[in-house]
Structure 1
Amino acid sequence: MPLQHVVEDAVRAAIAEDRSFGDLLPQLMDASRSVSPAEMSAALPRLAEGIAEAPPNLGGWLAVLSGAWIENGADPAPAGPALVHRITEVTAAALAFGDAWERAADGKPPPDMQEEQPSQEVFGTVAPVLGDGAVTAMMAWFALPQYTMAGCTLLQKAPDVRAAIDDRDFRVRAAEQAARHLAQMDHYQTLLRVLDGERLLVLDRAGRTGWTVTIGGIGDNFQLHVLLGGALIGRPGGLPGDRPAPEIVACFLDADVPPGPPIVSSPWNLVDAHGEWIWNEGVPADIPAVNGTRVVVIDPPSYDRTFPAGRRFPLMPATLRVEGMHLPDDLAGWWPHIKAATR
């Protein structure tokens, strides 16, 4: 049977909460194993409708399937907005469950959303607080890991979806709150904050020169650190030092990490325009802007810093492109806004 027919049957059953969904889901999974990415892409819009409209406990399975299709080459664009929106809805309902549990459970920890299942006892605990919304909230609580898994795959593979996210701050705040219940939500909120097509001004304090670079798909500042080294060290008019080997730089762009993994040495300290350290554990979106531009200042390293090669999000390719170099005279108006390092 063509994939689109199986998808249609499964989505209808999920939206109607029909018992046949339990039999149709394995059929849909089996059908997905033998089709091309083009066929999955063609069926993904209808799957996205099921994700948006089905109750959380059933839509979560469709979300997992969408993530698997996207990882295997399906075009993420048709499902992206619906999945991001639905994750926010499910997150809000799960947070309502968590709040109700804290109010009603007399100090008992909430059920483990990954190890336990909905039950009459769980429902009975939150129902006095949530009333008619108790069932949906309970189902959202236990389905949140499925949606989060799918969302993390989507956002790693779909820069256009990342760039088009609306109400980003609201979605990030909801994910941050949910991360205290589900650790993977921290990955999801980080992916929501990934910068794509973002220009940074990189300043060398010692040489008073600088560069404009454009970044995309960078998951943390370890990655930014190495990609700046690969782009700026040893180039004409660039920075002195030992440039990371090309195969190391590739691990931070889009290549698989060799066994080990290799250990990278940091060539410098990065600080922001206010003189505060840019922590490698943070993300480029943490870097504050001056006059609308995020500023990175390069200082000599204060101690030997090493870390393993590789990307925090292995499915997400990164880019860092040098747009141009700025000589000292070009930057005369910038340095009055740049503070000395605070440590």
Structure 2
Amino acid sequence: MLLRACRSLAEAAREGAPDFRERLEGVMPLAAAAPKDELTAAANLLVDTAAEVLPERGGWLAALAGALAGRGADADGIPLVARLGGVAAGAMAFAEAWDGRPPPAAAGPAPRIWERTRALMGDRAMISMQCWYALPRFAQGALALLLHSPATRAAVADFDEAVDRAVVHCDALRDVQELRRVLDGESLLVLHRPSRRGWTVTMRGVTDNFQLHTLLAGLLVGVEMPGRAPHPGWVAAFGDADSAPALPPVEGWWDLADAHGETVWNEGVPADIPLLGDTRVLVLDPPSRQRTWEAGRRHPEVSGLLELEAAYHPDDLLAWWPALKPPTGGG
């Protein structure tokens, strides 16, 4: 039932059918009873169609695909995230034609806005105006797909210049920016300077360095190295559990640095850690002062995981230490 309704809706979007909104409203009530495979097929159909049709109707399909992802669809959001860049570019052209003071998108289009836009933009007016009003829905859909699809996060480009510029007009794009930079499935070489030991870990769903720091402690301290093991609730809250209100603040274990000696701030994200050659390197140093933070994921919908891929004896790492710079300060 759901897939059939989505096929009808996609056809209406492509053909410009006048009953598009009526078909749109009939889809979500069917999602509650749909099995996962049907949710996934429907969401993928909507994603592909949203990437092809005019922005006004494509935006509604994008938002609907995101809603199905939130209900459990395992959707490939790559075409929609790619289309978001084009919609953002069109929206920025609209905003710039209005001297950076465009009418609020939430208020919806009106005849006077169309007449003014046509006078300002000529033949470009229709598509740019559609992009402006569709941008929040495309952002909503892209955000949901990035939140719920590790494969989408891993496959999309880190940056999109048009999306970065459009952030000033659409708050949801800030989260889209962050999630595009999540290094799903990427390896990190972790080097402990005092012991000269090291580990390769794979990051999945790690959205900031508070999370990275805590999950590293859960993986290494008391297992691979001596020290104060983290509270299990801290590790769980940064993994896939809700943060318990009674949890005490996390207490940090190290100063973090990159291979060039620069501080890796807890407030940053793993993508900020630079490469040394082809390897992203994080160096653990003794803490210069006590640091605390609250346990909980920046994006609760995204589960975080570090997987230990390899552990190295100091003799295995002799070539690495001369290439590292000393730390410049506490992180």
Is the structural similarity TM-score above 0.5?
Answer: yes
Structure 2, unpaired ranges of 5+: none
Give the RMSD, CA atoms, in angstroms.
2.0
Whether the 8 Å CA contact 1:263–1:309 is kept in 2: the answer is yes
Matches within 5 A, 1:89-108: 89-102=86-99
Matches within 5 A, 1:185-334: 185-236=173-224, 238=225, 240-259=226-245, 262-334=248-320
Answering whether residue 141 of structure 2 is matched by residue 150 of structure 1, we say yes
Superposition deviation, residue 287 in structure 1: 0.6
Q: Deviations over 1:99-118 (max 9, x none)?
A: 2222xx6xxx32233x3212
Question: Structure 1 CA distance, aligned partners of 2:177 and 2:7?
Answer: 31
Secondary structure in structure 2 of the residue aligned to 1:270: strand
Question: Structure 2 CA distance, aligned partners of 1:197 and 1:177?
Answer: 28
Question: Structure 2 CA distance, aligned partners of 1:110 and 1:308?
Answer: 39
Query: What is the one-letter code of the residue matched to 2:20?
Result: F
Distance 1:23 1:270, change over 3 A: same
Q: Which residue of 2 aligns with 1:57?
A: 56
Q: Which residue of 2 aligns with 1:20?
A: 19
Whether the 8 Å CA contact 2:94–2:102 is kept in 1: the answer is no
Question: Structure 2 CA distance, aligned partners of 1:276 and 1:125?
Answer: 51
Answering whether residue 165 of structure 2 is matched by residue 177 of structure 1, we say yes
Whether the 8 Å CA contact 1:172–1:192 is kept in 2: the answer is no
Whether the 8 Å CA contact 2:249–2:293 is kept in 1: the answer is yes
Whether the 8 Å CA contact 1:264–1:307 is kept in 2: the answer is yes
Distance 1:141 1:260, change over 3 A: farther
Q: Which residue of 1 aligns with 2:104?
A: 112
Equivalent position to 1:160, from 136, 151, 155: 151
Q: Deviations over 1:276-327 (max 9, x none)?
A: 1112222111111112111111122233222211111212122211222222
Question: Structure 2 CA distance, aligned partners of 1:309 and 1:203?
Answer: 24
Question: Structure 2 CA distance, aligned partners of 1:280 and 1:172?
Answer: 24
Say which is worse superposed, 210-219 or 41-50, in terms of deviation: 41-50
Equivalent position to 2:84, from 78, 82, 87: 87
Query: What is the one-letter code of the residue matched to 1:149?
Result: Q
Superposition deviation, residue 223 in structure 1: 0.8
Query: What is the one-letter code of the residue matched to 2:212?
Result: L
Question: Structure 1 CA distance, aligned partners of 2:104 and 2:294?
Answer: 32
Query: What is the one-letter code of the residue matched to 2:93?
Result: A
Question: Structure 2 CA distance, aligned partners of 1:124 and 1:336?
Answer: 66
Q: Which residue of 2 aligns with 1:30?
A: 29
Whether the 8 Å CA contact 2:44–2:65 is kept in 1: the answer is no
Superposition deviation, residue 331 in structure 1: 1.8
Aligned residues: 329
User: Taking every aligned residue pair, what percent have the same amino acid on both sides?
Assistant: 43
Q: Which residue of 2 aligns with 1:136?
A: 127
Question: Structure 2 CA distance, aligned partners of 1:282 and 1:17?
Answer: 45
Whether the 8 Å CA contact 1:37–1:69 is kept in 2: the answer is no
Secondary structure in structure 1 of the residue aligned to 2:122: helix
